[in-house]
Amino acid sequence: MATVIELPLDTYKGPVDPDWCPGCGDFGVLRSLQQAAGRLGIQPKDLLVVSGIGCSSNLPGFIHAYGIHSLHGRSVAVASGAHLANTDLKVVMTGGDGDGYGIGIGHFVHAMRRNLDVTYIVMDNQIYGLTTGQASPTTSRGHKTKSTPNGNAEIPLNPLALAITAGATYVARAYSGEPKQLVDMIAGGIAHKGFALIDVFSPCVTYNKINTYQWFKERVYKLEDNGWDPGDFRASLDKSFEWGDKIPLGLLYKDEDKPIYEDSEPVLGRGPLVKQPLGLSAETMNEFIEEMI
């Protein structure tokens, strides 16, 4: 087993400071991702962070690593392509509930179905923050927002139940107000071989006045404090529906036996695609480049 040399937090300090609203939960997610990467000893050159659109999707610009700020709802698709091209990279997707569970939900489901070896951190603030406070896929029923002035009529999406049934093999829930556990969940997800979802309660202090830090503080509890077994599929699925006065945090479900998509692809058995010969002459390659330019 290779020795892991932990790296200091400053290793991942980006050239641009975050510009989220003061008190935004996304600050905690950024720091926790940096700490998790450091704990695992991942060099910046070996880490790719991919996002879509939204407040939280600005995160790749605030961390020292490879980063792609893609299109709305397309982070999983872009990350999947990048990962399959270079399986040596640790690929982490970051975004919000609107980006991931709304417009991007199709890519989300199919990446889990394939059990790709990637990690998805969703900053779930239960509102559209960037567009100033409309209802998102996880907004609670009856919540009055700019787009639902009479109260949200839709049933909120349950991302944990969806992930478990769609094929994700590491499903966790964390909270910006519990940073130590958040680091543990992210580090565990990145180290896990398979699709990892970490749904993070990341309060929007500007536009969501219901799901606040105080609201979560009164309700959340840690699964690990109760001897939880994340290997029980049925129990994990049942637990994913617990919501209200008590909301569980921690590793809800983990399957270490399900094969990942990459191991079933013969071409990848010869190593990352980016390191395999293209079989093209320099002349032909230059012609392709000229045509693209």
Q: What is the pLDDT of residues 258-292, one digit of tens each?
A: 999 999 989 888 888 988 888 889 899 899 889 98
- For the domain made up of 19-292, the CATH class stated in words is alpha beta
DSSP 20: P
Q: How far is CA 283 from CA 50, 279, 286, 288, 293, in A?
A: 33, 12, 5, 9, 15
Domain boundary assignment for the chain: 19-292
Give the dihedral of Cα atoms 104, 87, 42, 200; nearest 10 deg. 20
Question: What pLDDT score does 31 carry?
Answer: 98
One-letter amino acid of 231: G
Question: What pLDDT score does 3 carry?
Answer: 80
Question: What pLDDT score does 221 carry?
Answer: 98
Q: What is the pLDDT of residues 100-126, one digit of tens each?
A: 999 999 999 999 999 999 999 999 999
Residue ranges of the chain with per-residue pLDDT less than 50: none
What is the CB neighbour count within 10 angstroms for residue 40? 19
Which DSSP string do the residues of 156-225 spell out, in sequence order?
Answer: PP-HHHHHHHHT-SEEEEEETT-HHHHHHHHHHHHHSSS-EEEEEE---TTT-SSS-HHHHHTTEEEGGG
Give 134: exposed, middle or buried? Use CB within 10 Å, 0-12, 13-18, 19+.
Answer: middle
d(CA 24, CA 32): 14
CB-based contact 105:188 (threshold 8 Å):
no
Question: What pLDDT score does 1 carry?
Answer: 55
